[in-house]
A and B are shown apart, each in its own frame.
Chain A
Amino acid sequence: MLIDKTSSKPGKQTTSSGQDKQPEQVLLTDMDINIERLHRFLGGGEDVVCRTLQHRSFDNTRYAILYIDGIVEGTTINTLLLSLLDDANNSYTNEKSSEGAGLYHHLTEQSIAIGKLSEVSTIEQAGYSILEGSTVLVVDGSLRAIVMDTTGGKTRAVEEPSSQTVIRGPKSGFTENLRTNTSLIRRIIKSPDIRFDYKMIGRQTRTNVAVVYLEGIAEQEIVNEVHRRLDKIDIDGVLESGYVEEFIQDRAFTPFPLLQNTERPDAASAALLEGQVVVMVSGTPFVLIAPVTFAKFFQSSEDYYQRYDIATFLRIIRMASFFISMLLPSLYIAITTFHQEMLPTSLLISLAAQREGIPFPALLEAFLMEITFEILREAGVRMPRIIGPAISIVGALVLGQAAVQAGIISAAMVIVVSFTAIASFVIPAVNMGIAARLIRFVLMILAGTFGLFGIMSGLMILLAHLCGLRSFGKPYMMPFSPFVPSNLKDVLIRVPWWAMRKRPLNISNDSNVVREGAGQKPSPDQEGA
Chain B
Amino acid sequence: MRLRFKSICCAMLLLLFASLTTGCWNRIELNEVAITSATGIDWDGNSWIVSYQVVIPAAISSVMGGSGGSGPKSPIIVYSTKGKTIRDAIMHSYSESPRKLFFAHNRVVVIGEKALQHGVNELIDVYFRNSSTRETVSVLATPGTARRILEQFMQLQAISGAGMKEIILSEMKNTSILPNIPVYQLAMEVTGDAKSAVVPEIFVSGTEDTSSLDSFGSTSIPSKLKLGRLAVLKDDKMIGWMSRKESLGASYLRDSVKQSFVVVPCEDDKGKKGYDTIQILKSSTKVIPKLKSNQLTFTAEVDVTGSLLESTCSQDLYKPGIIQLLEQGGQLQVSALLQEAWKRGQQLNTDIFGAAEKTHRKYPKQWKTWSKNWDQVFKQAPLETKVKFRMARMGLSNKSFDYLMEKREK
* Cβ contacts under 8 Å, A352 to chain B: 30-31, 33, 35, 57
A345 to B105, CA, bound (A): 6
Binds B, one of A45-53, A118-126, A332-340, A461-469: A332-340
CB distance A349 to B60 under 8 Å? yes
CB distance A340 to B16 under 8 Å? no
CB distance B16 to A445 under 8 Å? yes
CB distance A356 to B27 under 8 Å? no
Binds B, one of A357-365, A427-435, A481-489, A495-503: A357-365
Interface core residue of A351, A355, A361, A449 (most chain B CB under 10 Å): A449
CB distance A337 to B28 under 8 Å? yes
CB distance A353 to B61 under 8 Å? yes
Name the residue on A nearest B61 (C-beta). Answer: A353
* Cβ contacts under 8 Å, B290 to chain A: none
CB distance B29 to A341 under 8 Å? no
Cβ proximity bits B19-44 to A, threshold 8 Å, 1 near / 0 not: 11001101111110101010000000
Least Cβ distance of A335 to chain B in Å?
Answer: 10
CB distance B27 to A358 under 8 Å? no
Q: Is A451 an interface residue (CB 8 A)?
A: yes
CB distance B19 to A449 under 8 Å? yes
Name the residue on A nearest B28 (C-beta). Answer: A337
Given A349-B55, A349-B60, verify A448-B27 contact (CB < 8 Å): yes
Given A337-B27, A338-B27, verify A353-B20 contact (CB < 8 Å): no
Least Cβ distance of A101 to chain B in Å?
Answer: 57
Q: Is A155 an interface residue (CB 8 A)?
A: no
Least Cβ distance of B67 to chain A in Å?
Answer: 11
A348 to B162, CA, bound (A): 13
Interface on chain A toward B: helix, strand, loop, or mixed SS? Answer: helix
A241 to B16, CA, bound (A): 34
The total of Cβ contacts below 8 Å across the A-B interface reads 79
Least Cβ distance of B58 to chain A in Å?
Answer: 5
Contact partner of A349 (CB less than 8 A), chosen from B16, B28, B31, B35, is B35
CB distance B27 to A355 under 8 Å? no
CB distance A340 to B20 under 8 Å? no
CB distance A340 to B102 under 8 Å? yes
Q: Is B134 an interface residue (CB 8 A)?
A: yes
Cβ proximity bits A89-107 to B, threshold 8 Å, 1 near / 0 not: 0000000000000000000
CB distance B104 to A353 under 8 Å? no
Q: Is A350 an interface residue (CB 8 A)?
A: yes
CB distance A356 to B57 under 8 Å? yes
How many residues of A are counted as interface, with CB atoms below 8 angstroms from the partner's CB atoms? 25
Least Cβ distance of A343 to chain B in Å?
Answer: 8
CB distance B58 to A353 under 8 Å? yes
A445 to B162, CA, bound (A): 35
Q: Is B132 an interface residue (CB 8 A)?
A: yes
Least Cβ distance of B212 to chain A in Å?
Answer: 22
* Cβ contacts under 8 Å, B107 to chain A: 345
A362 to B27, CA, bound (A): 10
A445 to B29, CA, bound (A): 15
CB distance B104 to A341 under 8 Å? yes
Cβ proximity bits B88-107 to A, threshold 8 Å, 1 near / 0 not: 00000000000000101101
Contact partner of B35 (CB less than 8 A), chosen from A337, A338, A348, A363, is A348
A509 to B1, CA, bound (A): 38
CB distance B23 to A448 under 8 Å? yes
- Ranked nearest first, the 3 interchain pairs of A and B with the lowest CB-CB distance are A341-B104, A353-B61, A353-B57
10 A–B contacts, CB within 8 A, in A order: A340-B28, A340-B30, A340-B104, A345-B162, A348-B35, A349-B35, A356-B31, A361-B24, A445-B19, A449-B27
- Contacts A349-B55, A350-B64, A445-B20 aside, 8 further interface pairs with beta carbons under 8 A come to A338-B28, A341-B105, A352-B35, A353-B58, A356-B57, A357-B31, A361-B29, A449-B19
